[in-house]
């Protein structure tokens, strides 16, 4: 279980912007979806959980332990995984290398292929490819998700996993999350704008202007989002807050 207590993030530039403002949040459900308008602070919050960004105020607890001062590596080793919104590219590191690093053991080629198959990639075609610009955005995104599956941790945070998976179905992505939960029995946090992803959440958190605007069970929150309580500029294709 993850708990954020009074988390703030203030940027000290000339405009002096508050990205996050006194956030209190407990993550204890199977699936927690975080949604809200772009620029509202969702990704900052996700990066803060992984340790990529340090809060300017507040504390973070993971399974009762204060992890506020812990590094990215220490948090990863405690059981936190993070899937990047924009997957990182590497020259020379292959898909197999990356999945092996994620799995943290001497994973067989067959084992790595299994993870790739789970995200809908024909493993044989990808296993020896470099994780570089020769792969499409959608392929990189799925490999990114595969690295998080391979880790199988207690807490997995996905930053907009749906972006670029248009050739693959949402249904499959949702199956990935469900299967992952069955295996790890951990908590999954998904930052998303997609109605179909929000629909599987147990809890939905709406973040706007650096604050929690709404929080509650899916059945309480989703109808309000769909009826347009929050302004949506591009609501075609199931996008709730574009």
What is the contact surface with other proteins in residues (CB under 8 A)? 50, 52, 71-73, 76-77, 81-82, 84, 87-88, 90-94, 97, 101-102, 104, 147, 151
Nearer to other proteins, 44 or 81 (CB): 81
Least separation in angstroms between residue 224's CB and other proteins is 33
Q: Which is nearer to other proteins, 152 or 238 (CB)?
A: 152
Nearest approach in angstroms of CB 229 to other proteins is 34
Regarding beta strands 155-159 and 31-35, do their DSSP bridges make them parallel or antiparallel, or are they unpaired? unpaired
Strand partners, 5: 59
HSE-up of residue 110 (Cα within 13 Å, Cβ side): 0
Minimum CB distance to other proteins, residue 195 (Å) = 28
> Residue 68 or 94: which CB sits closer to other proteins?
94
Complex with other proteins: residue 156 or 192, whichever CB lies closer: 156
Please report how close the Cβ of residue 77 comes to other proteins at its closest, in angstroms. Answer: 5
């Amino acid at each position: 279980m993850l708990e954020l207590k009074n988390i703030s993030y203030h940027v000290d530039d000339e405009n002096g912007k508050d990205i996050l403002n006194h956030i209190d949040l407990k993550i204890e459900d199977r699936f927690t979806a975080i949604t809200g308008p772009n620029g509202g602070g969702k990704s900052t919050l996700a990066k803060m959980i992984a340790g990529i960004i340090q809060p300017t105020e507040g504390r973070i607890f993971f399974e009762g332990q204060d992890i506020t001062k812990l590094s990215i590596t220490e948090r990863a080793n405690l059981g936190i995984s993070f899937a990047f919104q924009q997957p990182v590219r590497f020259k020379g590191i292959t898909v197999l290398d990356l999945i092996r690093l994620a799995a943290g053991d001497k994973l067989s080629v067959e084992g790595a292929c299994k993870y790739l198959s789970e995200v809908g990639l024909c493993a044989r075609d990808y296993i020896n490819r470099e994780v570089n610009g020769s792969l499409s955005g959608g392929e990189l995104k799925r490999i990114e998700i595969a690295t998080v599956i391979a880790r199988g941790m207690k807490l997995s945070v996905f930053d907009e996993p749906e972006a670029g998976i248009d050739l693959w179905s949402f249904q499959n992505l949702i199956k990935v999350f469900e299967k992952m939960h069955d295996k790890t029995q951990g908590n999954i946090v998904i930052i998303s704008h997609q109605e179909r992803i929000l629909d599987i959440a147990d809890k939905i958190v709406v973040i706007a202007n650096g604050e929690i605007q709404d929080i509650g069970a899916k059945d309480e929150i989703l109808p309000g989002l769909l009826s347009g309580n929050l302004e949506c500029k591009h609501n075609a294709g199931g996008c709730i807050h574009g």
